[in-house]
């Protein structure tokens, strides 16, 4: 293999800027995949490397043989389209191995449409893969255009590009007679993809009460007249070809979120090997949410669910619970909370804590992590991934607020805040994760090791947001040990203040303070310390709220 690659090195280097990614076909009978990746990297080309597997079982074997392989891409390829569940299984296994950011590509170069129905089935597969988190879909380029010109496939892809603007999967509205409606969204804008059955056209009524800017089109993107809405329902005649319906806001988002919350809860509770290893009160909470996602006390349950995140992250990092138990629980909390955030918007009950305050607290936690984190990029992989998720959620909250969905925006910011609470336990556990033995890979649906079935209580973090405190019946009593610790902290406070007074202040020629960053510092705390605004501090030092401070870095605090 080395000789073969050596011979094409000049070709790779001369064409590097045109290479999207390399694809290494994985053969379970040969242990050469990791070596192939190393040889490609030696060419100096920065294009990504994707390992090609034909199913989830092959991906499991790839991970088993190359447990330290820094995977970023994997291609699921075959002569026929794989089931969407294979994408889900690969993603679940990747997360179990700490590969949360894995890009999954689905490829079927041998596929050739034989009828109009084949094209329709392709579109359905596209959206099913997208719902499971696939990043791209690959087909033979000759199906789109060849020497004779553009092909029929171009018309179907054109309709897809015209209507598929919304990116996040919300859920699926199941209906009778095999019909289903998949919903995707960006902010308040949504896309409903309506698939009919193989039978003749039949009637379907979608709840669109409160939705604005409704537009209906066929699979080619051609506009269709929007039927008259009757009692909040939009009647549609569906056949074997899909329909695209777009709109803004309305009850449809909440309707799909309700079904999605019930489905997530039911699927999780069915995994006894996971639920038996978690505190019974956690499983009961998930069960109650699934049964009453919009019932009395749902806000309290939403906040209670999020409070499990830091404790579970700590259990993951310090191996008090197996990855096969903790990771699915963490995934459930985030996915379920995201559905509940949509439902909260429909309930129209404002949060006690305003959005700017939650975002400010979350940004403070980010800054604290950025200044305190150390170690190699490999040891920071999980905590850095959590940080990227926190930033994504904050950006999503800002987008939602701009579109007028302020309650959902605040709920998403709460998810970001409790995600940010996971940064500390994730970063503290880095050395433990590196030195501990690798967990055996368990395919989703298989029985885990016996150790995973031993119930271990997950200790919740003591920090409670204002919203959760308000709705609790009574606060928990402090233990004598905690009371003594609190007294000791209070006694130590004056000493800390004295130390702060004695700290030497360095100044530059202009008389501005030159502050040297210390461990645990963040821009928010530094600005507070010197009585300046955070925006001014960032501006003076050409920083942003996402900038990473390093210990010993010099910051300018201008004199007033």
* Higher-pLDDT residue of 104, 377: 104
* Higher-pLDDT residue of 192, 16: 192
> Contact, 99 vs 62, CB < 8 A?
no
> What Rg, from alpha-carbon coordinates, does the chain have?
27
Q: Find the mean pLDDT for residues 393-399.
A: 92
Q: Are strands 73-77 and 103-107 parallel, antiparallel or unpaired?
A: parallel
Of 248-252, 426-430, 494-498, which gets the smallest average pLDDT?
Answer: 494-498
Residues 194 and 178: their CA atoms lie apart, in Å, by 11
Residue 93 has pLDDT above 90, yes or no: no
Question: Chain-centre distance of CA 352, in angstroms?
Answer: 26
Q: Find the mean pLDDT for residues 444-449.
A: 44
Element housing 194 (H / E): strand 189-195
Would residue 348 be called left, alpha or beta, if left means φ above 0 and alpha means ψ between -120 and 50 degrees? Answer: left
> Contact, 123 vs 131, CB < 8 A?
no
pLDDT at 499: 45
pLDDT at 68: 62
The maximal CA–CA distance of the chain, rounded, in angstroms, is 84
Sequence-distant (≥ 6) Cβ neighbours of residue 377 within 8 angstroms: 384
> Contact, 104 vs 135, CB < 8 A?
yes
* Higher-pLDDT residue of 316, 203: 316
Residues 496 and 484: their CA atoms lie apart, in Å, by 18
Other residues' Cβ atoms within 10 Å of the Cβ of residue 439: 18
* Higher-pLDDT residue of 362, 478: 362
User: Residue 29: pLDDT band by 50, 70, 90 thresholds?
Assistant: low
If DSSP states are collapsed to H, E and C, what string results for 86-152?
Answer: HHHHHHHHHHHCCCCCCEEEEECCCCCCCCHHHHHHHHHHHHHHHHCCCCEEECCHHHCEECCEECC
* Higher-pLDDT residue of 16, 88: 88
Element housing 384 (H / E): helix 381-402
Other residues' Cβ atoms within 10 Å of the Cβ of residue 119: 20
User: Residue 86: pLDDT band by 50, 70, 90 thresholds?
Assistant: very high
pLDDT at 504: 74
pLDDT at 474: 36
pLDDT at 470: 46
Other residues' Cβ atoms within 10 Å of the Cβ of residue 356: 11
pLDDT at 176: 59
pLDDT at 8: 65
Residue 94 has pLDDT above 70, yes or no: yes
Q: Find the mean pLDDT for residues 403-420.
A: 94
Of 60-64, 242-246, 288-292, 553-557, which gets the smallest average pLDDT?
Answer: 60-64
Residue 497 has pLDDT above 50, yes or no: no
* Higher-pLDDT residue of 86, 177: 86
Between vectors from CA 168 to CA 164 and to CA 173, what angle results, nearest 5°? 85
- Domain annotation for the chain: domains and CATH numbers: 259-471 (no CATH), 488-557 (3.10.350.10)
Q: Find the mean pLDDT for residues 254-278.
A: 92
* Higher-pLDDT residue of 550, 242: 242
Q: Find the mean pLDDT for residues 213-238.
A: 90
Q: Find the mean pLDDT for residues 456-477.
A: 42
Of 178-192, 364-378, 414-428, which gets the smallest average pLDDT?
Answer: 364-378
pLDDT at 461: 45
User: Residue 30: pLDDT band by 50, 70, 90 thresholds?
Assistant: low
pLDDT at 343: 93
Q: Find the mean pLDDT for residues 323-345.
A: 92
Q: For a pLDDT cut of 70, what percent of the chain falls above it?
A: 78
Of 227-236, 237-246, 463-472, which gets the smallest average pLDDT?
Answer: 463-472
Of 390-404, 455-469, 507-521, which gets the smallest average pLDDT?
Answer: 455-469
| Average predicted confidence (pLDDT) for the chain | 79
Residues 370 and 377: their CA atoms lie apart, in Å, by 13
């Amino acid at each position: 293999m080395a000789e073969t690659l050596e011979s094409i090195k000049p070709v790779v280097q001369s064409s590097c800027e045109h290479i999207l990614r390399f694809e290494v076909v994985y053969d379970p009978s040969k242990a050469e995949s990791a070596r192939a990746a190393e040889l490609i990297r030696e060419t100096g080309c920065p294009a990504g490397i994707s390992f090609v597997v034909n199913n989830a079982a092959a991906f499991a074997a790839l991970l088993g043989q190359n447990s330290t392989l820094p995977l970023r891409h994997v291609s699921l390829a075959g002569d026929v389209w794989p089931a969407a569940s294979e994408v889900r299984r690969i993603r679940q296994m990747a997360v179990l191995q700490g590969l949360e950011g894995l890009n999954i590509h689905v490829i079927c170069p041998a596929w050739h449409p034989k009828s109009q129905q084949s094209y329709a089935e392709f579109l359905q597969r596209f959206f099913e893969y997208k719902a499971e988190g696939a990043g791209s879909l690959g087909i033979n380029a000759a199906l789109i255009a060849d020497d004779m010109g553009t092909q029929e496939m171009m018309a179907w892809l054109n309709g897809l590009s015209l209507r598929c603007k919304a990116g996040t999967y919300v859920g699926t509205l199941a209906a009778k007679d095999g019909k289903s409606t998949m919903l995707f969204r960006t902010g308040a804008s949504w896309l409903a993809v309506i698939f009919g059955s193989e039978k003749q056209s039949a009637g379907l009524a979608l709840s669109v009460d409160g939705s604005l800017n409704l537009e209906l089109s066929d699979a080619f993107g051609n506009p269709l007249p929007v039927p008259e809405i009757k009692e909040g329902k939009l009647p549609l005649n569906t056949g074997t070809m899909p329909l695209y319906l777009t709109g803004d806001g309305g009850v449809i988002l909440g309707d799909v979120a309700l079904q999605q919350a019930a489905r997530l809860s039911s699927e999780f509770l069915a995994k006894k090997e996971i639920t038996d290893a978690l505190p019974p009160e956690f499983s009961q909470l998930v069960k109650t949410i699934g049964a009453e996602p919009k019932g009395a006390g749902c806000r309290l349950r939403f906040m209670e669910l999020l409070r499990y995140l830091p404790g579970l992250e700590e259990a993951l990092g310090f191996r008090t619970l197996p990855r096969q138990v903790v990771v699915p629980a963490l995934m459930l909390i985030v996915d379920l909370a995201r559905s509940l955030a949509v439902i909260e918007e429909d309930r129209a009950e404002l949060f006690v804590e305003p959005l700017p305050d939650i975002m400010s607290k979350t940004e403070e936690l980010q800054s604290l992590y950025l200044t305190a984190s150390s170690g190699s990029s490999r040891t920071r992989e999980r905590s850095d991934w959590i940080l990227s998720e926190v930033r994504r959620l904050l950006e999503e909250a800002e987008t939602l607020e701009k579109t007028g969905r302020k309650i959902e925006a605040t709920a998403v910011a709460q998810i970001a805040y409790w995600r940010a609470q996971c940064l500390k336990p994730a970063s503290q556990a880095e050395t433990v994760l590196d030195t501990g033995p690798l967990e055996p890979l368990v395919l989703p649906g298989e029985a885990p090791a016996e150790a995973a079935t031993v119930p271990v209580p997950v200790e919740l973090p003591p920090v409670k947001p204002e919203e959760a405190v308000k709705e609790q019946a009574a606060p928990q009593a402090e233990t004598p040990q905690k009371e003594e610790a609190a007294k000791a902290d209070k006694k130590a406070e004056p000493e800390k203040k004295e130390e702060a007074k004695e700290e030497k202040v360095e100044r530059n020629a202009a008389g501005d303070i030159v502050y040297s960053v210390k461990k645990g510092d963040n821009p928010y705390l530094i600005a507070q310390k010197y009585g300046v605004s955070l925006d001014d501090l960032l501006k003076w030092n050409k920083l942003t709220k996402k900038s990473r401070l390093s210990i010993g870095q010099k910051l300018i605090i201008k004199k007033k």
